[in-house]
Amino acid sequence: MKILYLGNRLAKHGKTPTGIDFMVPRLRGLSYEVKAVSSKKNKVLRLLEMWTTIVKEWNTIDYILIDTYSTLNFWYAVTCAKLARRFSIPYVCILRGGDLPHRITKSRRRSDELFKNAHTNIGLSKYLVNTFQDLGYENITYIENTIELKNYSFQLKSLEYPKLLWVRSFSEIYNPQLAILILEEIKKDFPQAELCMVGPDKDGSLEKCKQLAKRKQLSVKFTGKLSKEEWIKLSKDYNLFINTTNFDNTPISVIEAMALGLPVISTNVGGLPFLIAHEKDGILVEKEQVAPFIREIKILVTHPERAYQLAAKARKKVEQFDWEVVKEKWKRVLQ
């Protein structure tokens, strides 16, 4: 079987690896022949390569997989799916945009063309599965966002004082500046508190964070983009994971933190309440607010046994996200 996978392969340009980077080698490991595009940095050239690949190879392709986002890249999916229908190639939309429900409301006709004509739509969170069903899309399949659990060594963390880790692309929708404001406030109770922020810049937010830290006279460690192996190694030096996003689906970085034994405090948005059971295997708080983060950080540091319970249950939960489990669901979709 030959699969054409369409997505943003921009890791070689310094961007964070995306779903296509993880999935392509694993699908090949299941004996599928996979061609993946595009790694073009320019958005127009990227879209053109997707179109031309479909046109040139339509008669050899059995399936097209399309990473589907909610912002500008939504139109990649719309136009490529239209070409797929033109050539009668079955396609699968992999729903990666946490704000896709808003996109559907904004672009309902195009959304119906895209999603209702798909072989199936893969919801990587129960949040998106439920939302799509509510919006009238019946061809939806839940497959967990996935990691290889063997690469994540579980370790309970010492909690003498907060050592906060934030891992994400620096983008306005992920509200990275909130992490710096959290550090400023938590230092009033724990002067030794630390913050490390890992990830590449996406829209100028990294420089804004650096300037904010400078104005606040806060020492924040900015690592830039790290490889998966590098940030996993770095995580051993930190004891709490904070996720400050305003929109999200089921972020891999949060799943990874849960696998590593880092208690997670996250905003209660998008797919996060479907991933984290509040006060059972993580903590959910209101978005765009410092005070709830501070309250929960103080509770976990002063009651470390509570943090250990959350971490242990979180590790147990993410066993269902292991590729060895999830790959069987992909096989069924692609039969």
Reported confidence tier of residue 59, pLDDT bands at 50, 70, 90? very high
Reported confidence tier of residue 12, pLDDT bands at 50, 70, 90? confident
Q: What is the mean pLDDT of residues 2-29?
A: 91
Read off the amino acid at residue 91.
Y
**What pLDDT does residue 335 have?**
85
Show the domains of the chain with their CATH numbers. Answer: 2-143 (3.40.50.2000), 149-320 (3.40.50.2000)
Residues 6 or more apart in contact with residue 208 via CB below 8 angstroms: 177
Tokens standing for residue 202: 């996406």
**What pLDDT does residue 121 have?**
98
CA 174 to chain centre: 11
Per DSSP, the residues of 152-197 read --------SS-EEEEES-B-GGG-THHHHHHHHHHTTT-TT-EEEE
Which letter does DSSP use for residue 281 in this model?
Answer: T
Q: What is the mean pLDDT of residues 14-31?
A: 91
Q: How far is CA 162 from CA 188, 240, 284, in A?
A: 12, 7, 18
Reported confidence tier of residue 61, pLDDT bands at 50, 70, 90? very high
**What pLDDT does residue 18 have?**
87
**What pLDDT does residue 103 have?**
95
User: What count of Cα atoms within 13 Å lies in the side-chain half-sphere of residue 297?
Assistant: 30
**What pLDDT does residue 249 have?**
85
Q: What is the mean pLDDT of residues 240-246?
A: 97
Residue appearing with tokens 């690949």: 53
Residues 68-126 pLDDT 10s: 999 889 999 999 999 999 999 999 999 998 889 999 999 999 999 999 999 999 999 99
**What pLDDT does residue 178 have?**
98
pLDDT, mean over the chain: 96
Reported confidence tier of residue 258, pLDDT bands at 50, 70, 90? very high
Residues 187-239 pLDDT 10s: 999 999 999 999 999 899 999 999 999 999 999 999 999 998 999 999 999 99
- On the question of pLDDT at 13 being above 90, the answer is no
Tokens standing for residue 238: 């930190």
